Amino acid sequence: MAEPADFRTPVKPVWCPGCGNFGILSALRGALADSGVEPHQVMIVSGIGCHGAVVQYVHVNGFHSIHGRTLPVATGIRLANHELKVIAVSGDGDGYGIGMGHFIHAMRRNLDITYIVHDNKLYSLTTGQTSPTSDKGSATKSTPFGSIEIAVNPLTLALSSGASFIARGFAGDPPHLRKLITEAIAHKGFSLIDVLQPCVTFNKVNTNDFYKERVYKLEDEGYEPVDKAAAYERAVEWNSRVPIGVIYKEDRATYEDEVVTIQDMPLVKRPVEGVDITRTMEQFM
């Protein structure tokens, strides 16, 4: 069985010292080991943003896609080869801004994809502009007098869009996040983990200390993530207390379960007979 170290690559992360991305990376490698998968059985797809480099730091198959298109690429990979564990990684700007339409449709389809969002409430790669999850009033490089828009709540959006596993993690608690990612990988269906990820360079409000003072674990309160109305109440909690843990989960058929053409075998294993694809291959290889 693979160990977390088996998912390391020789590439040294370029993230700023103290960035929450390090906690997420460590939790992800640990969760892969806990899931009992081998590196060749996993595909990670990332988008554009500080998170995007993650594909270079985890020793599995990787696809660094374009801005906001993490989920369409992950969808294509799942439909081509549903024997792969597909983990899509995004940021709040990439996933909830540019990729918002894809996010909603992937959830209602219930594709079997684990979606980890590094949510630092800013576009950080471009040096700190307001993102969809920036709170109203946030003073950023693009909103020096404070944002005048209310923030997107990814958890309530996921509840209303049909995600079958919805959780929130905190980058400052990698062991807890590791358990959440392991559970999400084991879940059959679309799983969202929105991760509170301090950006130490540009976000001076939502810091490590900010979250440490506020986060509490749902499981410590005996919360059972089975009721949508109760989940909604927890999902809107954002004050002196901020919940982390699994907010909601349900079992239902995945999109892949209902695509008749892939029931007997993955598309990539289907023999291509009577069709000459030489020219197509030459064009793309």
Contact set with ligand SF4 (CB under 6 A): 15-16, 19, 21, 50, 120, 124, 199-202
Q: Is 120 helix (H, G, I), strand (E, B) or coil?
A: coil
CA gap 21, 127 in Å, rounded = 16
Q: Strand 129-130 and strand 42-46: pairing? A: unpaired
**Shortest reach from residue 72's CB to ligand SF4, in Å:** 24
Whichever of 96 and 202 has its CB closer to ligand SF4, that residue is: 202
Whichever of 18 and 101 has its CB closer to ligand SF4, that residue is: 18
**Shortest reach from residue 249's CB to ligand SF4, in Å:** 29
Cβ atoms of residues 238 and 151 within 8 Å: no
**Shortest reach from residue 49's CB to ligand SF4, in Å:** 8
**Shortest reach from residue 124's CB to ligand SF4, in Å:** 4
DSSP code, position 58: B
Q: What is the largest CA-CA distance in the chain?
A: 65
**Shortest reach from residue 197's CB to ligand SF4, in Å:** 7
**How many C-alpha atoms does 262 have within 13 Å on its Cβ side?**
17
Whichever of 210 and 232 has its CB closer to ligand SF4, that residue is: 210
Whichever of 27 and 163 has its CB closer to ligand SF4, that residue is: 27
**Shortest reach from residue 199's CB to ligand SF4, in Å:** 3
Instruction: Give the CA radius of gyration of the chain.
Output: 19
- Residue 266, φ and ψ in degrees, nearest 5: -65, 150
Whichever of 112 and 194 has its CB closer to ligand SF4, that residue is: 194
Cβ atoms of residues 91 and 85 within 8 Å: no
Q: For residue 252, count CB atoms less than 10 angstroms from its CB and return exposed for 0-12, middle for 13-18, buried for 19 or more.
A: exposed
Whichever of 35 and 203 has its CB closer to ligand SF4, that residue is: 203
H helix and E strand count, the chain: 10, 10
